[in-house]
Structure 1
Amino acid sequence: MNNTTSPPSPNWRERLFIALQYLLPQHLLSALMWRFTRARLGFILPSFIRLFVKHFAVNLDEAAEPSPAAYSTFNAFFTRALRFDARPIAADPQTIISPVDAVISQIGTIENGQLIQAKGRQFTLTELLGGAPDLAQLFDGGLFATLYLSPRDYHRIHTPAAGQLRSMLYIPGRLFSVNPATVRGVPNLFARNERVICVFNNEHSPFVLVLVGAIFVGSIETTWAGEITPPRGTVIRRDDYPNDDAPTFARGAECARFNMGSTVLVLLPPGRAQWLADKQPNDRIQCGAALGQWQSGTG
């Protein structure tokens, strides 16, 4: 992976921010956020939403409902739907699309079972996948993309390719922030945080979406099983969907959402696809835009 240099030293503000996260009651604060974002705040809510929109430069013109007064709770605003034409899907059916609005944190190849977290930091595929060696072996040597959703972004998650759900794993863990400073400073962050792993199959290959929780992410929700968190568990849970009636998704279909924001990782097996050459770390990408391409002859 050619990333053996040490990570840049965080400044004192970043060190303090990271140190506080080790001390804070992460799950309690996230539970309180869950309650707050679902509280009916009456006449206060539209003003609060307007402040949020201004501070984070949210483009409400893209929303299916652009008026702050139309939302009954902050979570309804945060997980708002967009206009039907706001996120066109790349036309070529061989294209792998971005499942979210995001900044590309990292993108590349999984080498020797390792993924890049940040410059000088790596973590293992097996740890990310909750210690499932069969699943990790399937994707070793394949591709990964780490997509960071900021507060300004659209927070519904769509499938990067057509596929049928085969299994879902809930992995309990910590709830560190996933902002760039914490990603640089906390070792094995994505393999330590709570996450939901969704494994799909399609005509080309299997693919995986890893939905990573974070502090103040009140819940992770899927379209087929509802809220996965809360409640938050202490053991790995796995649900398999082996039958022909398992949930099936068209390319670009909504499959999940973050109730508050976080990170999504896309995993593809080796020899099946390639990322577009112009997609690099720190690039912004919109849901539905081309991220990669299936290789010919993989059907």
Structure 2
Amino acid sequence: MIWLYLVLAALVATPLIIEATRKQMNDAARVDAPGEFTELSQGVTHYQWYGPENGPVAVCVHGLTTPSFVWRGLAKGLALMGFRVLVYDLFGRGYSDRPSGLQDRAFFLQQLNDLLADQGVEDDITLIGYSMGGAISTIFAADQPDRIRQLILLAPAGMRPVGKGIVGFAARTPIIGTWLMLELYPTILRKGLKAEKGTPTSVENINALQEAELNWRGFVPSVRASLRGMLSENLAPDHAVLEREAVPVLAIWGREDDVIPLSCAETISDWNSSVQNVVIDGAGHGLTYSHTVEVLAHITEFTQQSG
């Protein structure tokens, strides 16, 4: 029987040991990073500016698993449109720190507020959010609508909880959920990335960059913390505020998106009848980098109408 207990102990310990031995995000790891760093109230945040210094500010907020490199193609296009574009890594991703704890609306609002204050960005902001970043952008715009020129949402979360099956169970369940997430999520993410290989992209080597996030300590726990926090929230009240405050909102959807389904477009319209919904045929959840030209065309038209 002793051998059985030893086998069970090894099985339990393995994902915890793997996580503990992953690379740590620190100053040494940031040596070759693009952009800049700033120490905010919750830790170090990595950020980068694109475009003319005197252009209107566009702030881009990325999603659950893909850091700010997801914007490389789109940010360059926005810069050519004349925007001064700010992209940054959410905590737990990219080159930013990995603070522990729940990643809920207060957590992400704090980081964005801190960063904008640090960079001297005050108002007249075009806020662009992708996936979970769409949820973060929505709550920020609803919290401070007077600072927002327009809100652009790309395959946004917030209409229904994200995370189903074993991932949803792992996110919701204490103790064993942590173990399940560490044990199973890397394989699940790699499977999804493998299915995307060969898809056109405006971000060079994006699949390799996405998979490399799994090498860093704190990434998988951060995904779980966001699933339990920001991605478990219903944003109906926030969208109602945006309608009442007359904040122009564009929502761009991928018709083939199996992460944030197209039915969410109907939900967001029920919550805010002034939302402009557009659908890109053939696009999945990666529309930000797979259909960059089409996304930019819709943004251009919208900004001309609302600006």
Q: TM-score if structure 1 supplies the norm length?
A: 0.28
Which protein has greater RCO, CA pairs closer than 8 Å, 6+ apart?
Answer: 1
Q: Per residue, is there more strand in 1 or in 2? A: 1
Instruction: Identify the structure with the greater helix proportion.
Output: 2
